[in-house]
Chains A and B, each alone.
Chain A
Amino acid sequence: MAVLLLAEVTDGALAMDATAKAVSAAKSLGDVTVLCAGASASEAAKEAATIEGVAKVLLAEDALYGHRLAEPTAALIVSLAGDYSHICAPATTDAKNIMPRVAALLDSMILTDVSAVVDADTFERPIYAGNAIQTVKSKDEKKVITFRTSTFDAAGTGGSASVEDAAKADDPALSEWIEDKVAESDRPELTSAGIVVSGGRGLGSEENFALIEKLADKLGAAVGASRAAVDSGYAPNDWQVGQTGKVVAPDLYIAVGISGAIQHLAGMKDSKVIVAINKDEEAPIFQVADYGLVGDLFELVPELTEKL
């Protein structure tokens, strides 16, 4: 059996962490061929070739693939699908956009957000915001899968797979890219950070989120937010942790002013150590926290920042 894995490539750069975690999830399914697609993707392909367990890298370099648009990228994957038994990707927003389209084109039922591989046909995935884990066995000839990266360790590097060019597929010409609004930040990326500091509605304003950022910067941490904080405009959408935002599992997760709605817990409860700071001692977040601090975050967070 053979696996085709779509690497996460953004503006020419390989997202090593997400891709290496997906490789480690896919390795047991067969020889892994990684596909790097982009307007410029050759550097990403060279890097992907070093991931342990990668047998081959396919490089599809064309302006058509420059902005991860679903229609041309899905057409490319389908054109390459050939003999692969499994077609997979890390469950990033790009892959969540592209892979179900690929699956439907192949008349296959997608398996999204897979958290464990049982065997070549059988997989575990969380449902109901992680309140249940379903084990499903696929009857489809070709399995199309996205892997929840937070539950897999990244494959190591040191490999030296060959890189081959892949022919581009026809352009469905259905969509065009206008712009990306990406916040520049020196902080680590949220889904791969060792420490995450998240703020909730308890912060009360966008300005007060500076408290969270200061604590995060002291720890070299990424910044996250609850849905309530994002909905209230305190934090940008790409900070959202939860069922419909990002799923994280850092070594340390500090939840500040977050009550702990099910939807939020779904995105962080696999963190190794959870610290909760909240004025409400009944807040559900304390039921999953290893260490709780009850009190006024506006006093406790600056004090914590100073003493760490």
Chain B
Amino acid sequence: MKNFLTKFFVLTFAVCAFFVGTISPAEAVIVKGYAPIVNGDIDGAKKEARKQAMREAVEAAVGVHVQSTTEVANFMVVKDEISLKSDGYVNINRVIKEEVRGEIFYVELDVEASAQRIREFAQDLKSQLDANVNDSNSRGGIMVAVTQKNLSGTYNYTPEFSDYINAKLKQVGLRAVTNDNVVNYLINNYSAPDVRIRARAIANQFREEENALLRGVLSEESVRKVNGVYEATVHASFELIGLDSSEVDVFSKFVKGVASTQSEAIFNAKETATREAIDSLAKQALETVQRETRGGYTNIKTTVIVSNVTNYQAQYPAIKAGLANAKCKVIRMTRPNPTTLSFFVSTDAYSVIGELVQALIDSIPGIQQGSGSAGDLGATKIQLMF
């Protein structure tokens, strides 16, 4: 009997000693994450699956009590940030399961999430975003025009995703704004094949201080069931294009999302696609903005179209001299028709196009502002006429 008791005691103690570091605290939650294995990259899929589980943990900790689209968008950013730097916000107590299921990587984690710290982080983020939109320190103004296409081919406009994009851009100091005219145009014309091109013309017409447009579409391509879960593929096609210039930063990629329901899988794919797109475009945009405002000067590159050139021999030299006086360097000149001359010029002597237009009118004898239509496609063009 004594021997039995001794053995029982030893065994109990050993089991306790072994599990003392791994027993979950009462507030711990079990979260799951899935990620597609793309091109055999198991390590990458494992990382993504863990991130997805972390996002679930954040949601589980603070609950989804948010109401407005801006709150939804900000919460998406909070999840992005915390899934990248989980320390102190979400701690992994134990990896319950980590396995490859065909083309999917699956993780199940026992985690402990600090709701208070996450709420504090969300509050800090809101303040940071508000500070970043301060006109004095923002790097550039971007209008956002992004639509979505579902599996049945129907287009729609979802403000949450636009707000999510705005918040992500604000994080890097780019001043993202939603213009009601552009949004209304998108809502009323989302199925038109050239809606993105026309949206730029509308943006140009109603812009305030913005200098670029982020236009794009998130298209649901397919959903299939793989190993008991749903895998959705979304094509993200985004372009960040100048309003005055035609410089463009592009993101085009097929992105997959996995979840236990079809709608969650689609949402995950869209969220991942948007996140990747904005991370990539924001980085490129910062370079473009730096180039456009090199050394504190605004680099304007634009097209000057002069019509009613009825006496080429006399008027062409006058235009050339006027452009030089206005500190414009002519890069290329074309003659689209016998009475029109087009010049592609660059200058860093002005901060806005309007100042350049006035300088040209003052420098070229007999010239006046022409009649370009506000709805013209493409980059800003200066229309002048004799």
**Are both chains from one complex?**
no
